[in-house]
Amino acid sequence: MNGACACGVIFLGTGAGMPSKQRNVTSIALNLLDERGFYWLFDCGEGTQQQILHSPVKLGRTEKLFITHLHGDHIYGIPGMLTSRSYLGGDTPLTVYGPPGIKSFIETALSVSDAHLTYQLHIVEIADEGVICEDETFRVETARLEHRVECFGYRIIEKDQPGKLQLDKLAELKVPAGPIYGKLKQGQDVVLEDGRTLHGADFVGSPIPGRIVTILGDTKYCKGSLQLAQHADVLVHEATFAMSKQELAYAFDHATSVDAARTAQEMGAKTLIMTHISSRYQGDDTDLLLQEAMAIHADSHIAKDFWSFDIPKKS
């Protein structure tokens, strides 16, 4: 867990509402597969592209941008990020997902500023809860949260991987290495030269479970956050205020550190990382938020700008 880690969750901005000297406004990068070489961004507050310059994130290798809601501290960095991606040689398609209105915001900003992108930009406005994108490796689900404007949280699910080929069993049977191993790994049946038939399922271990990362937008304690957080390996949850400011938090549809910890604990999330911290909590003041959360959910952390959390593959 450090600022140099390139695989896992990377926090580019962890403040709430407006930037402070210690925290920029919200943006998070996710990279679960180094070999894939792509980054996904979640929210893009003002100054995100500047924050990226001080991180391992490669803007030209950004593949998707997920927007939780349309408040300025989550979207004002989008036009600059999109145009800079062109200047940095980004030529692969980029897809933006977000609530209704995100398309109008982006297209207006690019049109008024006469911006010309060197890549295909796709904008998907989320019409309903459920699966919004899926490929051979990941599935992303979304649910509505409770905030002053329409707001979504995202659940990133890595699909289970095939189990490991049991080489010791094959060695005992004197099965020659080569293409046969590849076929067995894929679960196929193989007939050897000596007439023996090997069934792939007999030589492959149990599937390796994929990782689950839940990244929530601004929200108070609600059904949607509980749904998305269930059994997550990492839950990223806002904690704008300490418990002593609960009335203020609820008045503006935000969460306290206790709300975040309750969500993690009740839904069996492994690691809780709190972000979107009010500027009233500076320096050691954030220890209060952490102590409140850890009293409920021991594996809790407070994110800070450029801090990262590695999420190793399961075995």
Closest CA to 212 of 302, 135, 140, 144: 140
- The C-alpha angle with vertex 12 and arms to 75 and 306, in degrees rounded to 5, equals 170
Active site residue 73: yes
User: Is 147 annotated as belonging to a binding site?
Assistant: yes
Burial readout 127-165 (b: 16 or more C-beta within 10 A, e: otherwise): eeeeebbeeeebebbbbbbbbeebbbbbbbbbeeeeeeb
- Residue 238: CB atoms within 10 Å: 30
User: Is 69 annotated as belonging to a binding site?
Assistant: yes
- Residue 96: CB atoms within 10 Å: 21
User: Is 73 annotated as belonging to a binding site?
Assistant: yes
Gap between the Cα atoms of 8 and 29, Å rounded: 8
284: its two tokens = 């050691």
- The C-alpha angle with vertex 76 and arms to 96 and 47, in degrees rounded to 5, equals 105
User: Is 276 annotated as belonging to a binding site?
Assistant: yes
123: its two tokens = 């904008």
Closest CA to 73 of 150, 15, 126: 15
Enumerate residues 6+ apart whose C-beta is below 8 A from 200: 183, 184, 185, 186, 187, 188, 189, 190
Q: Give the torsion through C-alpha atoms of 221, 224, 226, 230, to 10 deg.
A: -160
User: Is 71 annotated as belonging to a binding site?
Assistant: yes
Catalytic residue among 43, 73, 259, 305: 73
Answer for the pair 57, 85: CB distance below 8 angstroms, yes or no: no
> Collapsing DSSP states into helix, strand and coil, what is residue 301?
strand
Q: Which residues are catalytic?
A: 73
Which residues are known binding-site members? 69, 71, 73-74, 147, 218, 276
Which residues are known binding-site members for Zn(2+)? 69, 71, 73-74, 147, 218, 276
